[in-house]
Amino acid sequence: MRISVNWLRELCPTDLPAPEIARRLTLAGFEVEAIEGRTLDPGIVAARIAAAEKVPGSDHLSITRVDDGRGTHQVVCGAQNFQVGDVVPMATPGATLPAGMRIERAKLRGIESAGMLCSARELGLSEDHSGLLLLPRDTSPGAPMAQLLGLPDFVLEINVTPNRPDALSHFGIARELSALTGATARLPPSSLGDSGERAVDAVARVDLEDPERCPRYVARV
């Protein structure tokens, strides 16, 4: 199981460095098999797509004009899932992607391209490369992607044994860290609003058929 140290610290405040957190969890029976540092090149920033048109003779390439907060640049892109006005990650010339690929100015089909618009896989976030990673539209062009994603961070690869399903989550590990450090584990605040459009009984109902074995069962729609 992969655990973000940044998220872990939000749930259980501690100033312990990642290697010490890993050491204590391992001694408590949660073997940390690997510690992976995560960050992004500062040259990977948010950019707004200001215009786009198809590359003549291509069924998938587009010529985009993107605003990276410092100016407008032309980037050739093969993704299909964006619209003008979307904000996406852009690797500017000179930036290096997590896999080690350095982005340079290039020509695709004779068209100059000053950077690369990125999918989640190209940023090392997931295996999804079906299209660009779409950011909230109110994201400021030029904002570093590392900052937007809460990086730098460390990811712990933890081996949770079958008898501890309660620890198969960030909060489960946060509870263990709380016991090891004395810090208080806390869930982030949350709220559920009532729509009031339909009565709950019209959607679902809970019947206790064996109140001795299950004295209380709570459900929410």
The yes-or-no verdict on residue 110 having pLDDT over 80 is yes
Reported as a single tens digit per residue, the pLDDT across 22-67 is 999 999 999 999 999 999 999 999 999 999 999 988 888 999 999 9
The yes-or-no verdict on residue 8 having pLDDT over 80 is yes
User: Contact 46/87 with Cβ under 8 angstroms?
Assistant: yes
Give me the percent of the chain exceeding a pLDDT of 70. Answer: 98
Whole-model pTM: value is: 0.73
Q: Where in the chain is the domain with CATH 2.40.50.140?
A: 44-145
Helix axes 170-181, 18-27, angle to 10 degrees: 90
Reported as a single tens digit per residue, the pLDDT across 111-130 is 999 999 999 999 998 888 89
Cα(56)–Cα(167) distance, integer angstroms = 54
pLDDT computed for residue 75 by the predictor: 96
Tokens for 44?
């990977």
List, edge to edge, every strand of the sheet that includes 153-159.
2-4, 153-159, 31-38
Considering the domain 44-145 in this protein, what is its CATH number?
2.40.50.140
Considering the domain 2-40+150-181 in this protein, what is its CATH number?
3.30.56.10
Q: Where in the chain is the domain with CATH 3.30.56.10?
A: 2-40+150-181
Sort residue 138 into left (φ over 0), alpha (ψ -120 to 50) or beta.
alpha
